[in-house]
Chain A
Amino acid sequence: MIYLGIETANAPLSVAVVEDGRVIAEIVQNNKLTHSNGAMPAVEEVLQKAKITAAQIDAIAVSQGPGSYTGVRIGVTIAKTLAWTLQKPLIGVSSLQALAANASLYSGLICPIVDARRNHVYTALYEGLTLEEIMIDTHESIDDLCIKLKAFARPVMFVGTDVEQYWDVIEAQLGHLAIRAPQVLDLPRASQVVHIAAQQELPAVEETHRFVPQYKRIAEAEANWIKEQKK
């Protein structure tokens, strides 16, 4: 079973070819190239490195969000178009779960962080080792997140390139319970996306047309419109 994994939910980019659990080739980069520039060339390159053609892919796994709206859409559009036109099943994986998986050998709680601007983050909470979901993907303020995490009174490992900008707040709130993952684990990996996808049942190829990103937020214009209606 050959999977193509795609991860473009945030600034870093990763694509991988994984065959029966073995990573054959993987690209992980964090070079500020836009995904529209970088994603398809990376797909092309990773397939070349793995010495397979597009037609040999058995299934596609993609990071479905949350994250940068445009970033998520580029990955989802590429994955969806490939899956539909090659008639292969498409599986979506939470971008936060994929990030948390990088720290899965940690035995405490794992908290992936993705910046959502204005002091808000996309986040979730997982039990270490088992990756059992404790708190589902959500969009909330860094302060509210810290309050919730404090209540667990357990050590939490934070993972993601955006942890850096919130680290002062996190450390001030959680003190010694806050642990930063080694930087090498901060970049999401398409191989993790595939690994998580491979544990799920393959959807029917007919489902692909309905596949959409998990934004976890309605568009700002829509939020404002709803507010206006309530006045």
Chain B
Amino acid sequence: METYILAIETSCDETAAAIIKNGTDIISNVVSSQIESHKRFGGVVPEIASRHHVEQITIVIEEALTKANMTPSELTAVAVTEGPGLVGALLIGINAAKAFAFAHGLPIVGTHHIAGHIYANNLVQPMEFPLLALVVSGGHTEIVLMNEHGHFELIGETRDDAAGEAYDKVARVLNLPYPGGPHIDKLAHEADEAVKFPRIWLEEGSYDFSFSGLKSAVINYKHNMDQRGEEIVAAHVAKGFQDSVVEVLTAKTLRAAREFNVKQVIAAGGVSANKGLRTSLEETFAAEGIPFYVPPLNLCTDNAAMIGAAAHYMFVAGERGNMAMNGRPGMELKTWVK
């Protein structure tokens, strides 16, 4: 089935719209980032995010249509991130999507944000199953197994902080600007030695993660050094922290890939833009002989193209939303194939 899906994503601090053909081809992909507005607060402020979304939403959708050189009548459906995310932010995208779909008599599909992150890979390389996805972002750290399109099985997840959250918190300890991830990644790359921090493996055989202990270890290290009147070397701390995160993420993903005998491993989410993590996963799976893919940077961070890719498979499977669609901040990733 040929589809042209207008996708909208406003779950956090990016106002985004895209038009995707058949779940694989990007016709247009527009992202308006608010990162500059949130920097001074050291994190995303939900109310300010919502205010920006209202300002940008129609401009971004129009640009997606203009760049695609398409009119609403040429579209098959409208897709929108239904959750999880900041509820006030989600509501802008959802209500714009509903109004647009209603105005043009188009069906609407509510999409899961993490399904979107996983499907970002389908825009680069067709997904092959069984597939293992490592989803790492500011709000998520999950290992997901997929046996076919629309099937999701949560193999492991964080029990406390998400990987990206730990990055932001450690960055604050090191007085690095927000968002912390890229700064820590860069510092870690420049460092010639690393402070030794623990690896949190949890109980044997577990695919779950925990990063709050590691974060505390970094805070304690700085505290102890301060008390002794010694200066910390930020780069050494950054490398020590990143080494621990990357080692645990890589090892658990590798073990799961072996156990489930997958044909493909993919990384998704904002933290998969991290160079240290990418390199480690690339090298590990190259040695293992399992194809590993990670989307280009602009498809790792929040975008609507990924939502349109996932929505294609939902639409083909008969999934439909309606005019009463609400934001679902705590939405769970559920299999949609029957």
Q: Give residues in A with beta carbon < 8 Å to B.
A: 34, 36-41, 43-44, 54-55, 69-70, 73-74, 76-78, 80-82, 84-86, 208-209, 212-213, 215, 219-222, 225
Asked if B139 lies at the interface with its beta carbon under 8 angstroms from chain A, I say no
Q: Is the interface of A mostly helix, strand, loop or mixed?
A: helix
Residues on B with beta carbons closer than 8 Å to the beta carbon of A215: 51
Distance in Å: Cβ of A222 to nearest Cβ of chain B = 7
**Contact among B48, B91, B324 for A70, CB-based, below 8 A:** B91
B323 x A69 contact (CB < 8 A)? no
B88 x A40 contact (CB < 8 A)? no
Residues on B with beta carbons closer than 8 Å to the beta carbon of A70: 50, 88, 91
Q: How far is the CA of A44 from the CA of B325 in the complex (A)?
A: 13
A85 x B72 contact (CB < 8 A)? yes
Distance in Å: Cβ of A46 to nearest Cβ of chain B = 12
Asked if B100 lies at the interface with its beta carbon under 8 angstroms from chain A, I say yes
Interface residues on B, range: 20 to 34
Given contacts A74-B95, A81-B57, A43 and B102 within 8 Å (CB-CB):
yes
Asked if B104 lies at the interface with its beta carbon under 8 angstroms from chain A, I say yes
A221 x B45 contact (CB < 8 A)? yes
**Contact among A39, A54, A212, A220 for B95, CB-based, below 8 A:** A39
Asked if B55 lies at the interface with its beta carbon under 8 angstroms from chain A, I say yes
A209 x B88 contact (CB < 8 A)? no
Given contacts A81-B96, A84-B58, A209-B62, A36 and B41 within 8 Å (CB-CB):
no
A219 x B324 contact (CB < 8 A)? no
A54 x B98 contact (CB < 8 A)? no
Asked if B228 lies at the interface with its beta carbon under 8 angstroms from chain A, I say no
B47 x A69 contact (CB < 8 A)? yes
Which residue of chain A lies nearest to B43 when distances are taken between CB atoms in the complex?
A: A221
Residues on B with beta carbons closer than 8 Å to the beta carbon of A81: 57-58, 61, 95-96, 99-100, 103
Residues on A with beta carbons closer than 8 Å to the beta carbon of B94: 36
A77 x B45 contact (CB < 8 A)? no
A77 x B102 contact (CB < 8 A)? no
Distance in Å: Cβ of A197 to nearest Cβ of chain B = 18
A209 x B59 contact (CB < 8 A)? yes
- Within 117-136 of B, Cβ neighbours of A (below 8 Å) are at none
Which residue of chain A lies nearest to B59 when distances are taken between CB atoms in the complex?
A: A209
B41 x A225 contact (CB < 8 A)? yes
Digitize B81-124: 1 where CB-to-A-CB distance is under 8 Å, 0 elsewhere.
00000001001101110111011100000000000000000000
Which residue of chain A lies nearest to B108 when distances are taken between CB atoms in the complex?
A: A40
Q: How far is the CA of A215 from the CA of B326 in the complex (A)?
A: 23
Residues on A with beta carbons closer than 8 Å to the beta carbon of B54: 73, 76-77, 80, 212-213
Q: How far is the CA of A35 from the CA of B145 in the complex (A)?
A: 36
**30 A-B pairs, CB-CB below 8 angstroms?**
A36-B95, A36-B327, A40-B98, A41-B323, A43-B99, A43-B323, A70-B88, A73-B51, A73-B54, A73-B88, A74-B95, A77-B95, A77-B96, A80-B58, A81-B57, A81-B96, A81-B99, A81-B103, A82-B103, A84-B58, A84-B61, A85-B61, A85-B99, A85-B104, A212-B51, A212-B54, A212-B55, A213-B54, A219-B48, A221-B45
